[in-house]
Chains A and B, each alone.
Chain A
Amino acid sequence: MKARLVIEVNRKPYPVEVDPNTPLLYVLRNNLQLNGPKYGCGLEQCGACMVLLDGKATPSCLLPVGTIKKQSIVTLEGLTQPNGSLSPVQRAFVEQQAAQCGYCLNGMVISATALLAENKQPDDIAIRQGMERVLCRCGTQSRIIRAIRQAAKEANP
């Protein structure tokens, strides 16, 4: 049964009328027409659907939207500044050309953003641990690691 809910996405409240069991991913993609979070496995195994839930990288593919109370949701789109400029992590991914097909990019950028918020200067092991949940099949991980190092350096020169 559908219910009226309000979720806070990218710092704005959105009223939605959905079955509260609907995983957040489908609400973001279909009701809010956002493209950042991607469907990859629906099993919380690949990380393509990551969003920031109160700043923490969280898979959205199984999370029932009705269980989200006052938490803030930030998607890939929400990382971009209101004036259109990219966040340091987004910019580092573009500058390092850290993608091939780019389907995993959402999970990568979201996870890297959460990692750098917690650990401003992650070493190699911390980067790998922080990114372990997100799969890339094109093999761009070495570029992604470079992008995260660049973003960390720019934030704390």
Chain B
Amino acid sequence: MKETADSITQSRRNFLKTAGCLTIGFSFSCQPLSASEKPPWQDSLPGSLRQQPQINAWLEVLDDGRIRIFTGKLELGQGIRTAIAQVAAEELDMDLNKVEVHLAETGRTPHEGYTAGSGSIENSAMAVRYAAAAARQKLLELAANRWDKPADQLNVANGKVQQKTGAEQFTFAQLLNGKQLEDDVRLPVALKPKSDYRWVGKPIPRTDIERMARGEPVYVQDLRFPGMVHARVVRPLAQGAKLRSFDVAALKKTVPGVLKTVINGNFLGILATEEYEAVQSQLFAREQARWETAKPLPDEKKLAEYIKKIPAKTRTVKESGDLKTIQQQEGSLLKASYFKPYHMHGSIGPSCAVALYQENKLHIWTHSQGVYPLREALKEMLGLETDAIHVVGVPGSGCYGHNGADDVAADAALLAMAYPGKHVRLQWSRDDEHGWEPYGSAMRMEAEARLDRSGKITHWRYDLWTDSHSTRPGGEPGNLLVARSIEKPFSAPSGGYSGGGYRNSEPYYTIPNLKVDAHFFEGPLRVSALRSLGAYANVFAIESFMDELAEKAGKDPLEFRLAHLDDERAMAVVKKLQELTRSEKMAANEGIGFAFSRYKNVATYCAVAARVFVDTKTCTVQVRKMWSVIDAGEVINPDGLKNQTEGGMIQSASWTLKEQVTFGREHVSSRDWRSYPIFRFSDIPEVEVVIIDRPTEKPLGAGEAAQGPTAAALTNAIYRACGKRIRDLPINLEVRGETRE
């Protein structure tokens, strides 16, 4: 599947010397706060090229006429491999099947932080576009020199440079003569005119889907190596519980195939020849190991109140105008509070990794979203040199953020170092993933707004309470689960990435007097990045509240939003949604609801409508149809964008209607798909996505844009269907919600 590290060419080694000194997790640190801070798009290199401008960091010419593209991003099911191949094939005028894309691997691909935040098109694909265009320029220059002809009399086609007049041609490889293009990409770069596009903007099918349908090896779970052994880890039910005793001899007696039991502090792992022996060992050890109980958890039923009471650090996200006048008598004042529980990533395939420790070098195959940051954290945890760790990114089951991928890799690394010379395959169980993955934080949101007599919002006050939205490893060993429980433990750093909590907390509407405050608590459960981070809860609250305000003002909900928007592209998605749903006729107990947001307030525009049926006898909701209108700027692959948006709506509807991590006083009780139900086929609505393509605009990350608006569209639709305002998630018509007065 992957080539060995030995095939790295000398020129790659040179480029990589400069690649090691990058800061970790830069994709998070440069998150703009407001729409006014536009990235310097036109006057500097795009995306990750700024950090790594060398052409051969991104592109290698192969002897057989193909091109190999290097991306520091991983394929997560978002189709990034295809999108990147499209932009590269376009700029180099090649057939798509002549372009190979090599995914994240330390020592081979650029360091691009994490595959996260809908940033892969903006950062990686745009870097590849410019690198490929610069390569084309360079290759033309080389050919021009060889023939002593001006470059404008030459053509580039299918891996060759030709003279327009004659039959003479050079392949790229012949021009380079065993070398690679080591020049830096420098502006200006002549990009191909969009009118000549052959691949970009077309719904190019992903080739990996056929490989999946044939059952070919695709995932880290499918890796097999000669002599590979199987491992399982044994964790207590409660986070923070300490291992008191485990009878290693009794295990060996019960499962004779056990090769080794690794106990390191509170970490317990078992290696066996056969996978089923490892499974049996895990079951035995779960019964046999004794754990000291940990700190009790709060009352889950009172979580919405509890998270507001935890001591918090407050940060003002935005302040403008004068909030003191919110108490004036004119117009009307509205207040509401909203709640979102802990959510799970809930990957269908639990996390998995393969690790090998051999000749003082550790190799890890992982579906981590950041191979370089993982290496940095592992280096600290294991006391190894950077060069002694080689991390290879291999696709896994969809993760939608920071799930158990990094943790299982760290577990596997520990086991491999305790059992050198063999590939160790560690598969987490369903219980491991459900019980130990870092969840999306519970959040509480309170909104207050004043409407003037004409029905315009004059004042807006918004407070949110949240835990961190990223505790990714990023060089911090304490963020790896296992590092906290080994003999010489690392403590989890406090705080983590706070920006995610207030993502989209500022409404995208024009409101003269406004204040947004974010309060950061450290909650009872382990948390990290889940698709769209805080935007899901913030947009749910803001767009639910907008619906309440529209009603109070006596306005149509979409017209009310339009009256508060002054961005043409925002208005265009709302108007298109209006047009799409105008002729929908509601049956009894049906309702339609709407919501809008611009992701991160600087990225993709997305408006969502949901049509629901509420069975008032059984208090159940059936989602009939959802629509989305999306503007992600220039679209590289419209079918990829549609797929992401359809899936985003369905996943968000599942979060909103069904999902909540449950826990008792001792431990999380959501341990499988019965105790943490998600959408099944009977829940799936019809979905329709309309794209507003803007080929001359910058392409924007879109994979997370639908999460927030979908939630509010659903609760707003339920209100229209049955008169109940749902402000606490998940939607429960039996115990929650207020009846319309």
Contact = CB atoms under 8 A, between A and B. Distances in A.
Given A38-B349, A140-B643, A93 B213 contact: yes
A116 interface: no
A99 B77 contact: yes
Nearest to A140: B647
Contact of A76 (B206, B214, B646, B648): B214
B310 interface: no
Contacts of B347: 103, 137
A142 interface: yes
B429 interface: yes
B562 interface: no
Given A40-B430, A45-B674, A143-B643, A131 B681 contact: yes
B427 A39 contact: yes
Q: How many interface residues does chain A have, given as a range?
A: 35 or more
A105 B651 CA distance: 17
A35 B400 contact: no
Given A34-B215, A39-B221, A86-B214, A94 B205 contact: yes
A46 to B, nearest CB: 6
Interface stretch (B43-51, B125-133, B271-279, B731-739): B271-279
Interface residues of B, number: 59
Contact of B651 (A34, A36, A138): A138
Question: Which of B215, B274, B686 is the most central at the interface, judged by chain A CB atoms within 10 Å of its CB?
Answer: B215
A57 to B, nearest CB: 13
B215 A141 contact: no
Contacts of A76: 213-215
Contacts of B210: 86, 94
Nearest to A27: B276
Interface string B263-277: 000000000001110
Given A39-B427, A40-B348, A139 B647 contact: yes
Nearest to B434: A41
Given A76-B214, A94-B209, A132 B681 contact: yes
Nearest to B647: A139
A35 B218 contact: yes
Interface in B268-325: 274-276, 279
A9 interface: no
B424 interface: no
A23 B398 contact: no
Contact of A138 (B219, B398, B674): B398
A128 B58 CA distance: 44
B170 interface: no
A100 B348 contact: no
Nearest to B671: A43
A127 B684 CA distance: 12
A141 B672 CA distance: 21
A60 interface: no
Given A30-B274, A40-B348, A128-B681, A99 B212 contact: yes
Interface in B646-699: 646-651, 654, 672-674, 678-682, 684-687
A77 interface: yes
Question: Which of A38, A45, A97 is the most central at the interface, judged by chain B CB atoms within 10 Å of its CB?
Answer: A97
A141 B648 CA distance: 12
A101 B395 contact: yes
Nearest to A33: B224
A41 B676 CA distance: 12
B601 to A, nearest CB: 24
A22 interface: yes
Question: Which of B212, B216, B685 is the most central at the interface, judged by chain A CB atoms within 10 Å of its CB?
Answer: B212
A98 B647 CA distance: 11
A90 B214 contact: yes
Nearest to A147: B213
A61 B303 CA distance: 36
Question: Which of B400, B427, B648 is the most central at the interface, judged by chain A CB atoms within 10 Å of its CB?
Answer: B400
Contacts of A72: none
Nearest to A30: B275
Interface in A110-154: 127-129, 131-132, 134-143, 145
B1 to A, nearest CB: 12
Contacts of B429: 42
A137 B678 contact: yes
B155 interface: no
Interface string A70-94: 0000011100100000100010011
Q: Nearest 7 A-B pairs (CB), nearest first?
A: A101-B77, A139-B650, A139-B647, A101-B398, A36-B215, A100-B77, A102-B212
Interface of A: 18-19, 21-23, 26, 29-30, 33-36, 38-43, 45-46, 48, 75-77, 80, 86, 90, 93-95, 97-106, 109, 127-129, 131-132, 134-143, 145
Given A29-B275, A105-B213, A136-B348, 7 more contacts: A26-B274, A93-B209, A97-B209, A100-B398, A132-B682, A134-B681, A139-B654
23 contacts: A18-B274, A30-B274, A42-B430, A43-B430, A77-B214, A93-B209, A97-B205, A97-B209, A98-B209, A99-B212, A100-B77, A100-B78, A100-B647, A102-B208, A103-B396, A103-B397, A105-B213, A127-B681, A128-B682, A138-B77, A139-B648, A142-B646, A142-B650
